[in-house]
Structure 1
């Protein structure tokens, strides 16, 4: 797609980012709306880059899925909800849903409390937490939700992207890799990680942020139609650090039998 047409497609569909961001921000007042907007806009641009009318779906539907996926990632990275809050909300909603299935109706707070052996006030707190949470972040198949309605070949590409992303995480420098695994795979909070490592919350957040930028650069270089220029990279690491990272990633691809879409270099 010509650059001018791509840019116009982005401009014409900026409302998708605005609507998705407003929906999340209205429920989660403690998150940064600017950060959400930035993540959504980046996803919209990448969607325009990859969109092909031959997929047989409107661009709006295609972009909306990618924007929602990006916002979920950004919320997860913000670590806005402590693990105990998520756990409480999930426990209460599971009990509520189990009772609803058995009773054939929505159970009362008292009934949920009795089934769980807790006070009604704790149930009300858990339900309030659930209302604030974006529940799709906390289910095992969360990353599949935004892709509903995509064509089969698009789902295959999504699966391949996830496989590449796991290899990209494994290739990160040790500290960054450990932080990403702890936050995204083990569902640990930044606070917990900082206390374990004996460093500040800000130090862990900085490691996470730079690791995410490196992962974005790896994805961009792997899937881009044309080689990316050094000036366009998101990472703030030195060229030497990025060279070493991309070489480890390329080597892991060769070992697993996956050829890179293009050489990974800065």
Structure 2
């Protein structure tokens, strides 16, 4: 894989590039370190100078190493983590140029996806499965076929490892390295739109921190179904216990009832709801 310095020579003239893993930061950038990062982003949107850009590169450079090292654990040992970092740097640069703080997405979340996408793109562009890995895989398959021809049954991993004269851990590594990895570019077009900007994979990545609107509607419908036909106090007990996760004692204080009374009402409500659900199941 070409180094960062080699690849930057292929980029259009006029766009700033990192010079290796260490990004040089102008003297004026020392003042940026004293500012809130949100203010730095807004300054960069107004004036995308090399000084601010280099400061942001240096500030978020650890994300590149962290992402590259995590991805490296799932790749063959022949793939160098430094090569992954070199590709990841370009993802960081693209993320800095495209990031919009007004969208409310944390840069770390947005940037990590861009870094991964850049690394995946590079792995797709090159033949990332080295010859040594392919050679080992082919040898394993030959041994399996030969064993099956000789014995009439499929060989176990232990038997294949013994014929290859490798220990259990080494054989596991050979199989792991040969396992195909699904590589998808996050910059790939997801679907076209009428506007000039198409929707990409990264635009539809699920944010697990946000509740699914469909799940929210289903949750509300279930609440309505469960509380239908109940008195106000009974509805409150269900809502406070199952939705607000309050204890029986806390509910009793809220409704001015004893804890034992709340527990008694709760048991009665559940029995009625069970009978109601059994009756309604006949409708389906």
- TM-score, scaled to structure 2: 0.34
Task: Look at both structures and tell me which one has the larger radius of gyration over its CA atoms.
Answer: 2
Higher helix share: 1
Identify the structure with bigger relative contact order (alpha carbons < 8 Å, sequence gap 6+): 1
